[in-house]
């Protein structure tokens, strides 16, 4: 079946502009996660959705970053007034939600490569 | 979640087994060991996970020591396509997030 789909695959923007990144999770997956991978760095957690609500936003680096999820499916990560340090690959993952969180396998999309000039 | 330690790089010959070690000496009883890999320019790919018993699937085997302080991911017959960064992650039931370390960069040689 279809995996996690992210769009666009690449985005080049100018400093100060707003960008929207989209994630389509695997059908039926109730949990959705956003991560960021900066050049030469490891992946860092940004936000977790359970259905349409986000019980854990602890990884969002600043108030310029926000995310929403509608209909328990598609999610959008928005970065306002982009800065050069926002340049990174933004990865989305989704999972089913069994009783034990550790059993919930996260499946990742290919990511959106954001370049802020 | 417990911290993990992995060698920064390894290599193996194509067709041979690749054995990737991971130390997680502070792991607690309800924490699972997960392995993911990331091939260049792709998102991380789930490989396998386990709690205390050894596990095997179509991709790999996971051997967890009896004291659970370390584990080994085994790719039984490595191919060139297995060249990737391999991440060992410890995750508890109370944690939503995967915490990725630096991983092991595996190079499979022809």
Helix (H) or strand (E) holding B63: strand B61-64
- Smallest CA–CA distance, residue B31 to chain A, in Å, is 7
Which residues in chain A have their CB less than 8 angstroms from residue B33's CB?
Answer: none
- Residue B57 has a pLDDT of 96
Chain A residues in contact with B50 (beta carbon < 8 A): none
- Nearest by Cα to B51 from A103, A97, A95: A103
CA distance A36 to A25: 17
The verdict on a CB contact (< 8 Å) between B100 and A43 is yes
Which pLDDT tens digit goes with each residue over B44-96?
A: 999 999 999 899 999 999 999 999 999 999 999 999 999 999 999 998 877 77
CB-based contact B16:B107 (threshold 8 Å):
no
User: B33 phi and psi, to 5 degrees?
Assistant: -105, 125
| Residue A1 clears pLDDT 60, i.e. is over it | no
pLDDT at A99 over 80: no
- What is the pLDDT, as a whole number, of residue A98? 62
Sorted by sequence, the CB contacts under 8 Å of residue A37 that are 6+ apart come out as A43, A44, A88, A89, A90, A91, A111
Return d(Cα B42, Cα A89) in angstroms, integer.
10
**pLDDT grade for A100, boundaries at 50, 70 and 90:** low
Q: What is the mean pLDDT of residues B30-52?
A: 93
* Nearest residue of A to residue B104, measured between CA atoms: A42
Give the span between the Cα atoms of B99 and B89, in whole angstroms. 7
The closest of B89, B100, B90, B78 to B19, measured between CA atoms, is B78
The least confident of A15-24, A72-81, A95-104, B6-15 is A95-104
Distance CA B109, CA A40 (A): 23
- For residue A31, is pLDDT > 70? yes
**DSSP 8-state symbol, B83:** -
Strands B18-23 and B70-75: antiparallel
Q: Tell me the per-residue pLDDT of A33-73, one tens digit each, with 9 for 90 and over.
A: 999 999 877 899 999 998 888 888 889 999 999 999 988 89
- Check CB contact under 8 Å for A59 and B42: no
| Residue of B100, B12, B26 lying closest to B67 (CA atoms) | B26
A103: three-class secondary structure by DSSP: helix
User: What integer pLDDT is reported at residue B61 of this predicted model?
Assistant: 98
Contact between residue A6 and residue A21 where contact means Cβ atoms under 8 Å apart: yes
Sequence-distant (≥ 6) Cβ neighbours of residue A96 within 8 angstroms: A28, A29, A30, A31, A104, A105
pLDDT higher than 70, residue A3: yes
pLDDT digits (tens, 9 = 90+) for B7-24: 999 999 999 999 999 999
Interface of B with A (CB under 8 A): 30-32, 42-46, 49, 91-103
On the CB side of A90, CA atoms within 13 Å amount to: 33
**Integer Cα distance of B6 and B34 in angstroms:** 13
Question: Does any CB of chain B come closer than 8 Å to the CB of residue A38?
Answer: no
Check residue A102 and give its pLDDT. 61
Say what the pLDDT of residue A39 is: 84
């Amino acid at each position: 079946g279809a995996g996690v789909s992210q769009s666009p695959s690449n985005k080049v923007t100018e400093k100060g502009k707003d960008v929207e990144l989209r994630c389509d999770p695997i059908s039926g997956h109730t949990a959705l996660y956003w991560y960021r991978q900066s050049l030469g760095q490891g992946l860092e957690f940004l936000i977790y959705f359970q259905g349409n609500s986000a019980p854990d936003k602890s990884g969002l680096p600043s108030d310029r970053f926000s995310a929403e999820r509608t209909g328990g499916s598609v999610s959008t990560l928005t970065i306002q007034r982009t800065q050069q340090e926002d340049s990174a690959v933004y990865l989305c993952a989704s999972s089913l939600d069994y009783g034990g969180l550790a059993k919930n396998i996260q499946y990742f999309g290919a990511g959106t490569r954001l370049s802020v000039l | 979640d417990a911290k993990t330690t992995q060698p920064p790089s390894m290599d193996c010959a194509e067709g041979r087994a690749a054995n990737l070690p991971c130390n997680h000496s502070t792991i607690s009883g309800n924490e699972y060991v997960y392995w993911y890999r990331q091939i260049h320019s792709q998102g991380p790919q789930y490989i396998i996970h386990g709690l205390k018993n050894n596990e095997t699937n179509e991709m790999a085997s996971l051997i967890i020591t009896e004291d659970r302080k370390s584990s080994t991911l085994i790719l039984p017959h490595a191919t060139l396509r297995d060249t990737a960064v391999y991440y060992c992650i410890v995750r508890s039931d109370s944690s939503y997030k995967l915490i990725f370390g630096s991983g092991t960069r595996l190079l499979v040689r022809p």
